[in-house]
Structure 1
Amino acid sequence: MSAPASHVTPPTGLEQPDPRRWWALAVLGLTNLVVVLDSTIVAIALPAAQADLGMADSQRQWVITAYALAFGALLLLGGRIADYWGRKRTFMVGMVGFGAASVWGGLAQSGGELIAARAVQGAFAAMLAPAALAMLTVLFARGKERDIAFAVFGIIAGTGAAFGLLLGGILTQYADWRWCLLVNIFFVAIGLLGGWKLLVEARAEGRNRYDIFGTVTVTLALASLVYGFARAEHGWGETDTIGFLAAGVVLLAVFVLSQTRIGNPLLPLRVVLHPVRAAAFSIQAVVGAVMMGAMLYLTFHFQIVLGMSPVMAGVANIAMTAVIMATAPVSTKMLAGLGPRVVLVLGPVLGASGMFYLSRITPDGSYWSQILPGLVLLGLGLSLIFVPMQNLALAGVDPHDAGVASALASASLNIGGSIGIAIFTALYAGRLEDSLAEGADMMTAFTDGYSITFVAAGVILLIGAVICGVLIRGSREDLAPASDMVVMH
């Protein structure tokens, strides 16, 4: 779930194609892979990590949330750092920090230590991802080679999450859950060596002021909201739940106000006030909530209730990704024929039907009859969403704001995932407690808890469909970004 930095014009010294650019693409693609797969690789390992470190059910969600929240909240700042401080320098520092945090997490002796390491991982990933894409825009400035390079980058991003689930299952089952983090050492070593040899320093000219106040305010706002939703498992009316949610809303309002008062804001509000782009960012957040939040509980169902091995749980999850990849060409044709508005209403509706189907699971149910049809429906829906989603994030945007708009789309995905996990965990915990109080056995209670998260995910997808139906207007041609803008898949 990576994100680009600001739109840049290639420096004069790099107008001739770099002869090492394809090797550099391999290094940057590897960076994209490690950033994306680390959002999912520990999902399969969570039951084993929870047992080993003695984490409570409410604590384990933060292993995923901490990474996604830090990544999403700091992406815009990471892009600015890469632009102003230097892309190669930011890339190398990000690699070192990401590797160190991975080792820390792999050697963690407590749940709190693991969560802290994951947050640091996310912070350095927010430096890595925009630096990598900014260098890609310099190496492949225009033409067919640029299209190929971004297609490769997009394919890696699209398959990285599924690869993370599978790799996480293999490492957990045949080595140890800790290797889901320690494996990053190998990726980092290749990235550092390749980056040192192949990448060229570049930075953006012009204003280089950092919006530190905006960064701190929006990060605290998002953290407060996520923590408030997480505390809701103890009751929506509890003082700390209401307090953190209220603080998050106030801090978010302060952030928005601050963005209107400074000359070089972290997030120019004109980027989010455009209705079509607002719809794109909203559906990104919805997709993040579903893919990180609801699918996490499906992974738990596979291992804890159905008794699948970590490897088989990873394989079972890949069905959805396979459907997305197989139907992408059809979705592209539908977009051309029906236009983005129809496609972005139909996609969430199909995805919601898949989540509602999954909510019918039982403790003794079959994967083939209770799970697979729902994953197919969800994959069909997400395929329709993914095809136009990123381009709409750049609809009508000025070239100067293209990097910010594209970064915000990726940030929305991660922030939506963070909030989604917190909300789904609160719903899961409440339903689990009610089910046990009603006399259900533990496996039935687990299943009831998972089911309510799938229902909630379906409802969120339907809300996303309504938002897209109301806000998206115009033809496909009108909504396409300019050909020279950076689009990250």
Structure 2
Amino acid sequence: MSTEYDSGDEKQVQVASAPLSSPTPSTIRSIVIIATSTMAMIVNTSNATSASIALPTIGRELGIPENQLQWIVSAYSLTSGCLLLFFGRLADLHGRKKAFIVGMIWLAAFTLGCAFTNDALTLDILRAFQGVGAAAIIPASIGILAHSFPPSRTRSIAFATFAAGAPVGAAFGMAIGGALTQLTAKTWRSTFYLSTGLTVLCLILGLVAIDRDQPSTEQDKRVDWLGALLVTAGLVLIVFVLGQGEIAPHAWSTPYIIVLLILGVCMVVLFVFWQHYLEKVQASDTKSTGPYAFLTPPPLMKVSLWYRANGRFAAIMAIAFLTWCCFLGSNFWIQLYYQEYLHLTPVLTMVRMLPMFITGVLCNIAVALVVNRLSVIYLLGGGTILTAAGAVLFAVIIPSSPYWAFGFPAAIISVFGADFTFSAGSLFVARVALPHEQSVAGALFTTMTQLGTAVGVTVTTVVFDKIAQRETRQVSFLPPRPSAPAQNQVADLLPAYQAAQWTAFAFGILAAVTALAFFRGFGIVGHRKEDEDDKTVTSSGKHPEV
């Protein structure tokens, strides 16, 4: 039986008394809405993976040093991850369809621009502008799905399908990006032409399929610009430092790295305190006549949101963060292991990773089928353990062994945690959030995955570099091989690749422990029979604490 809890803000509860969603669309319209949102996720993910697999080619053609290549991927993640919360709030206030359409137009324009760049700096800047479009699209898509489908089996299918867009997009970007990079005359530029076409197609579907925006039910529609500045600037600085710290002139001891990291952390801390203060002011009965009313708009993010469901909202955020640290941290080094250590072509690398994306699609189909009858602990706990196990297989890999011994099973199991966490986590967040918070809550969840990607890649890179330096120093003291002079000896960096994977494994285990600690015995997050009354429950201003 569903239990209920107060949102902690009585006035906001009254505001939320509007219906949870618009009337359930017809079957055909439901399919088109789900397909459009899923395609948005595919476009977003493929933009990252298609560039990732083309990095060695881009580096050769544009003369970019290897230690600067990561910014082609990181610049996109930087803006798309750091602006999610701000655009999620704008989507909730001013219209999710508007945010979706404007984001698609923006993304298409700058994706096309990337295809015409001839230097590293311009490409990095345009990739960052690409990410701004993605930051508007993803939270709007989550809000559109939550608004269009009330708690039901259809909602479970919608969110599972949307989550499946991530592995499909990754597979598409990896497969098509690798093939176009290797086989076409335009090499890596062809991937941006294709991405532009897909974005335009998604834009057209959005214009036709998505319902017209309904006015926000919030009485106070002001935007917390100070909060937006603090959280965006803080996250940008933190993610920038994570990407730059290892390649700065003096690495992490470089003065500007230390200063920017401190500034970034301070801004995020100030943002949290500022949001807590705004939430208290908004909850006060005298807020409309208070002396600070003009300077205290509704918070960009309610701090109380993190305490909902007995703190499990914060727990699911931590699980998402740690899972992505493991999954993307591991994948980053798998791609480099295949291309830089085994010297495989982009196409052969793509073929070896393809089972991962097929499994990802199957995982999300499985979630749609079992999420309404299987306890969420099996999805979260089991999935994160399997993702961690995938990292272990590469941590103990023997390069001379066949692909089927280590690479294939790792590709099969490593995706479970990411897909189970995203699907089940999205459903959980949609149930916990109030109707006017759907895009913000979805943006928070996606932000944690983006931060997890940045932290996972950074920490594993630090470990890789330290072990690589040790191996290089050891080689410098060895006598020369008979077939080559000493200065031409090259260190075997396999221990560095393995150490990076052990680090990713540690993140995965932490995610599993968090899931077991907070969701053991919790039950299901999918549709249940008693959820048929959710509209009535929501109209009373309460939440089902799934």
Shorter-chain TM range is 0.7 to 0.9
- The structure 2 residue matched to 1:452, chosen from 475, 499, 502, is 499
Root mean square deviation of aligned Cα: 3.5
Partner Cα distance (2:524, 2:121) in 1: 49
Q: Give the aligned residue type for 2:259.
A: G
Partner Cα distance (2:167, 2:317) in 1: 18
Partner Cα distance (1:333, 1:88) in 2: 29
Is 1:178 aligned to 2:178, yes or no? Answer: no
Query: Offset of 1:273 from its aligned partner?
Result: 3.1
- Whether contact under 8 Å (1:395, 1:480) holds in the other structure is no
Q: Give the aligned residue type for 2:441.
A: A
Residue of structure 1 equivalent to 2:176: 167
Query: Offset of 1:255 from its aligned partner?
Result: 1.0
- The 5-angstrom pairing of residues 235-246 of structure 1 reads 235-246=251-262
Is 1:390 aligned to 2:403, yes or no? Answer: no
- Whether contact under 8 Å (1:72, 1:410) holds in the other structure is yes
Alpha-carbon deviations, 1:105-153, whole Å to 9, x = none? 2222222222211111111111122334444555556766656554543
Alpha-carbon deviations, 1:31-64, whole Å to 9, x = none? 3321222122211111111222222333222222
The 1:223/1:427 distance shift into structure 2, 3 A limit, reads farther
Residue of structure 2 equivalent to 1:76: 85
Partner Cα distance (1:129, 1:196) in 2: 16
Of the structure 1 ranges 212-221 and 365-374, higher mean CA displacement relative to structure 2 is found in 365-374
Alpha-carbon deviations, 1:174-197, whole Å to 9, x = none? 121122222122123323444445
Aligned length: 479
Partner Cα distance (1:30, 1:346) in 2: 28
- The 5-angstrom pairing of residues 85-164 of structure 1 reads 85-136=94-145, 149-164=158-173
- Whether contact under 8 Å (1:227, 1:422) holds in the other structure is no
- Whether contact under 8 Å (2:241, 2:261) holds in the other structure is yes
TM-score w.r.t. length of structure 2: 0.77
Alpha-carbon deviations, 1:211-240, whole Å to 9, x = none? 222222112222222233334424444433
Larger Rg: 2
The 1:371/1:259 distance shift into structure 2, 3 A limit, reads same
The 1:324/1:100 distance shift into structure 2, 3 A limit, reads closer
Is 1:413 aligned to 2:449, yes or no? Answer: yes
State, as a whole percentage, how many aligned pairs show the same letter: 25
- The structure 2 residue matched to 1:226, chosen from 219, 232, 239, is 239
The 1:90/1:393 distance shift into structure 2, 3 A limit, reads closer
- The 5-angstrom pairing of residues 151-300 of structure 1 reads 151-175=160-184, 176-205=187-216, 206=218, 207-233=220-246, 234-262=250-278, 263=282, 264-274=298-308, 275-300=311-336
Other structure's SS at 1:40 match: helix
Partner Cα distance (1:21, 1:375) in 2: 32
- Whether contact under 8 Å (1:334, 1:343) holds in the other structure is no
The 1:11/1:434 distance shift into structure 2, 3 A limit, reads closer
Q: Give the aligned residue type for 2:299.
A: P
Of the structure 1 ranges 76-85 and 306-315, higher mean CA displacement relative to structure 2 is found in 76-85
The 1:120/1:475 distance shift into structure 2, 3 A limit, reads same
- Whether contact under 8 Å (1:162, 1:321) holds in the other structure is yes
Q: Give the aligned residue type for 1:208.
A: K
The 1:462/1:270 distance shift into structure 2, 3 A limit, reads same
- The structure 1 residue matched to 2:385, chosen from 337, 344, 349, is 349
TM-score w.r.t. length of structure 1: 0.85
Point out the structure with the larger helix share: 1
Gaps (5+ residues) in structure 1? Answer: 1-6
The 1:442/1:290 distance shift into structure 2, 3 A limit, reads farther
- Whether contact under 8 Å (1:101, 1:121) holds in the other structure is yes
Alpha-carbon deviations, 1:252-295, whole Å to 9, x = none? 11111111122421221112234212221111112222333321
Query: Offset of 1:95 from its aligned partner?
Result: 1.7
- The structure 2 residue matched to 1:315, chosen from 347, 351, 367, is 351
Alpha-carbon deviations, 1:286-315, whole Å to 9, x = none? 222233332122111112222222122112
Query: Offset of 1:387 from its aligned partner?
Result: 5.5
- Whether contact under 8 Å (2:74, 2:243) holds in the other structure is no
Residue of structure 2 equivalent to 1:438: 474
Q: Give the aligned residue type for 2:243.
A: A
Gaps (5+ residues) in structure 2? Answer: 1-15, 283-297, 477-487
Q: Give the aligned residue type for 2:215.
A: A
The 1:311/1:265 distance shift into structure 2, 3 A limit, reads same
